[in-house]
Amino acid sequence: MTDEIASGEDRLIARHFAPLATHPGAFGLTDDAAAVEPPPGCELVLKTDAIIGSIHFFENDPAGAVAQKALRVNLSDLAAKGAAPLGFLLSIALPKGTTEAWLAAFSDGLKSDIEQFQCPLFGGDTVKSPGVVMISITVVGSVPTGTMVKRGGAKVGDRILVTGTIGDAALGLKLRQDEGVAARWKLDAAMREHLTQRYLVPQPRNAIAEVLRTLANGGMDISDGLAGDLTKMCGASGVSAEIDASRVPLSIAAKAALAAAPALIEPILAGGDDYEVLAAIPPASLDQFMAAARAAGVPATDIGVITAGRDEPKFVWNGRQLDFARRSFSHF
Amino acid sequence: MTDEIASGEDRLIARHFAPLATHPGAFGLTDDAAAVEPPPGCELVLKTDAIIGSIHFFENDPAGAVAQKALRVNLSDLAAKGAAPLGFLLSIALPKGTTEAWLAAFSDGLKSDIEQFQCPLFGGDTVKSPGVVMISITVVGSVPTGTMVKRGGAKVGDRILVTGTIGDAALGLKLRQDEGVAARWKLDAAMREHLTQRYLVPQPRNAIAEVLRTLANGGMDISDGLAGDLTKMCGASGVSAEIDASRVPLSIAAKAALAAAPALIEPILAGGDDYEVLAAIPPASLDQFMAAARAAGVPATDIGVITAGRDEPKFVWNGRQLDFARRSFSHF
């Protein structure tokens, strides 16, 4: 009987989202709320991030990639905070004419990440959008109580580490906006593909969350640009920093683009969407951190040092100090 | 130093949202995530609901009322689940040209509700919207572990209770869409104002969360219409119900409108946006429940009984069984 009167919204949830709600506290999405208990001795770490069509992704991006970006920008925060994922809540606003095929690809993308990151769906809300697709995710993680890695914990003398490579997504966005830059940057097809993919789907570093939690004095994920996010970490910690910009890890593609167009150093260091981890590691723990990151398959690079004072972090490149027009991405 | 390079987004958060983040685990919104521990012996209850300009509210609605609606539609779920509010996360997408005055009124509206419902801001995300305002809130509450009031707990013989009055918001929406109906419904100014306000800002019933948790077999909030939501509760509980529609509590304004236009019985019972509580109370606990609701200042009315079987709940009105074209509101 209930099936007969089930609304379109209920059918949509039952078909595409209920199979993702594997945590017992999600009640298969048949209740109005989820019930979640942290593991013994742990507290919950909560974060919300939204992505909006035409602002954070292109409306013709594959739906599965959109779903993964929406979840991964949140998972990236859990990684940097040293938290293990428990699950997430999803709000999604869909324009008229959203197809079953789009929804199926969206939920398939989510399903794959739910399995990879062990982060099931706790609940959600599906509403109509008068315009673009809007997705807001709240991710729930856990840490032993009191051990969340803070922005404000960096100490003078700490080494500054970043994971992966920096600047790829900012260049990938420029490529999406203007394909002509590929020729000017002397990029081959593989390089173009690499940069475009890095913008399309971030690779959050949840594999090193635990070693960050045990070894990092401070940390955050790099979402608004390395320069601006390091400035935020230093500000919260009451310290400054010196970065050797030539040590900032770049992909082969970013190196090629930078060689052809040296002004790209600014979008590379300040452009955003990296979703790598920025961490302050005490020198005595550096070897242990590097070994653990290597064992987890996560590249990590020492790019500089936390210094005393409240000056903006210095970025030195080819012997001169970089002067950024804008250190970080902001929507406003 | 940090202030000088603070982005517009950071300034906006510092000015309008950081003062709302009074929970110590929100770190004054200076970190990337919040750390939250349930009270001893409790688990967390999590719910997310979004509201979208032009879909769930009018774009010229007062910003403070929009903020309160966004929070209260979530608080209403906590109430029905028997959970005490702990805090919330806010995602907000703002179109270009959003003014400081709008933001100030929005955060003032939130602040007033944060104090009234003891539900501070844990964190959030502020992004750009290409069109309308979108607000997604995830609210966090707590219950003693295992005691969340479920949709699926209603038992044969339970009395069916609703709080407040039903149908006002659905009529208020019709008034907003077409002022001409006020004359056809023979509404005076006070009645128009009552119905319009009931659509603008819900009154969640958090004052009876604890008595629901201790006495109700099943419950949910009424957001998509009494008829449809009761059908969902019965479906989840494997039961049916008989409602005496003449006992469904109506405001003076809704009674006047219904007397002038009897076809309004359908939007009143199936229209949505009530944000009242629907609960299944064992007959032996009915007097205790009514006394506790009265003491909490929350009107509650016995409108029918849970019955055996899997048929759709029956609504009997003036001796005939109502046959709904559509039992509940759905976006799709």
* Per-residue confidence (pLDDT) for residue B1, from 0 to 100: 28
Query: Rounded to the nearest 5 degrees, what angle is found at the Cα of A166, between the Cα atoms of A234 and A203?
Result: 105
* Ramachandran angles phi, psi of A78, nearest 5°: -60, -45
Q: What 3-state class would DSSP assign to B248? A: coil
Whether residues B60 and B200 fall in one domain: no
Tell me: do A10 and A112 sit in the same domain. yes
* Residue A30: CB atoms within 10 Å: 17
State whether the Cα torsion A309-A312-A318-A320 is positive or negative: negative
Query: pLDDT per residue over A87-109, tens digit each?
Result: 999 999 999 999 999 999 999 99
Residues of B in contact with A10 (CB under 8 A): 232, 330
The C-alpha atoms of residue B234 and residue B243 are separated, in whole angstroms, by 12
Q: What does the alpha-carbon distance between residue A184 and residue B181 come to, in Å, rounded to a whole number?
A: 63
Joined together, the tokens standing for residue B110 give: 């939130």
- Whether B106 and B193 map to the same domain: the answer is no
pLDDT at A301: 98
Q: Which of A9-13, A205-209, A279-283 has the lowest mean pLDDT?
A: A9-13
B331 contacts A128? CB cut-off 8 A: yes
Contact B91 A91 (CB under 8 A): yes
**Would you say residue A331 lies in a domain?**
no
Residue with tokens 């010196």: A242
DSSP labels, A207-226: GGHHHHHHH-SEEEEESS-H
pLDDT band for A330, please (50, 70, 90 cuts). Answer: low
User: Are A131 and B136 inside 8 Å of each other by CB?
Assistant: no
Contacts of A131 in chain B (CB under 8 A): 130-132
Query: For position B27, what pLDDT does the model report?
Result: 95
* Domain at B124, CATH number: 3.30.1330.10
- B204 with B236, same domain: the answer is yes
Contacting B residues, span 125-154, partner chain A, CB-CB under 8 Å: 125-132, 134, 136, 138, 140-141, 143, 145-146, 148, 150-152
Residue A86 in domain: yes
* pLDDT < 50: residue spans in chain B: 1-6
A209 and A103 co-located in one domain: no
Q: Give the model's pLDDT for residue A331.
A: 61
- If 0-12 CB within 10 Å is exposed, 13-18 middle and 19+ buried, where does residue B313 land? buried
In a domain, A184, yes or no: yes
Which one-letter DSSP state was computed for residue B245? G
CATH number at residue B207: 3.90.650.10
Give the Cα separation of B147 and B126 in Å (integer). Answer: 34
Q: Are residues A223 and A273 in the same domain?
A: yes
ipTM of the complex: 0.94
Instruction: Give how far the C-alpha of residue A260 lies from the chain's centroid of Cα atoms, to the nearest Å.
Output: 28
| Among B210, B227, B69, CA closest to B162 | B227
Rounded to the nearest angstrom, the minimum Cα separation between B252 and chain A is 30
- Which candidate from A30, A81, A130 shows the least CB-CB separation from B131? A130
Q: Do A91 and A226 belong together in one domain?
A: no
Asked whether residue B329 is domain-assigned, the answer is: no
Among B81, B83, B77, CA closest to B42: B83
A148 vs B11, B35, B141: nearest CB = B35
Place of tokens 């635990």: A210
Same-domain pairing of A261 and A175? yes
Residues of B whose CB is below 8 A from A269: none
Which of B144, B167, B194 is a domain's end point? B144
Sheet holding B34-36, edge to edge: A121-129, A84-95, A134-144, A42-52, B34-36
CB contact under 8 A, A30 and B151: yes
pLDDT value of position B9: 83
pLDDT at A120: 97
The partner residues of B324 in beta bridges, in order of sequence, read none
Instruction: Say if the Cβ atoms of B48 and A83 lie within 8 Å.
Output: no
Radius of gyration of chain A (CA): 21
* Chain B touched by A331 (CB under 8 Å): yes
CB within 8 Å of chain A, chain B residues 40-59: 43-56
Task: Let me know if residue B330 belongs to a domain.
Answer: no
Q: Which residue range forms the structural domain that includes residue A9?
A: 2-144
Q: What is the pLDDT of residues A263-318, one digit of tens each?
A: 999 999 999 999 999 999 999 999 999 999 999 999 999 999 999 999 999 999 98
Domain end among B96, B111, B144: B144
- Smallest Cα distance from A97 to chain B, Å: 10
Beta bridge partners of A89: A123, A138
Q: What angle do CA A218, A223, A228 make, to 5 degrees?
A: 70
Q: Which amino acid does the sequence have at B324?
A: F
Please tell me whether residues B178 and B94 are part of one structural domain: no
How far away is chain A from the Cα of B184, in angstroms, using its nearest Cα? 30
Burial (0-12, 13-18, 19+ Cβ within 10 Å), B197: middle
Chain A from 61 to 120: CB within 8 A of any B CB? 77-78, 80-81, 83, 89-91, 93-94
Q: How many domains does chain B have?
A: 2
Q: Using one digit for the tens of pLDDT, what is the confidence trace for A37-57?
A: 999 999 999 999 999 999 999
| Least Cα separation, residue B12 to chain A (angstroms) | 8
Of the three residues B77, B110, B144, the one that is the final residue of a domain is B144
Q: Per-residue confidence at A8, pLDDT binned at 50, 70, 90?
A: confident
A202 and A265: one domain?
yes
Beta strands (DSSP E) in A6-103 are 34-36, 42-52, 84-95
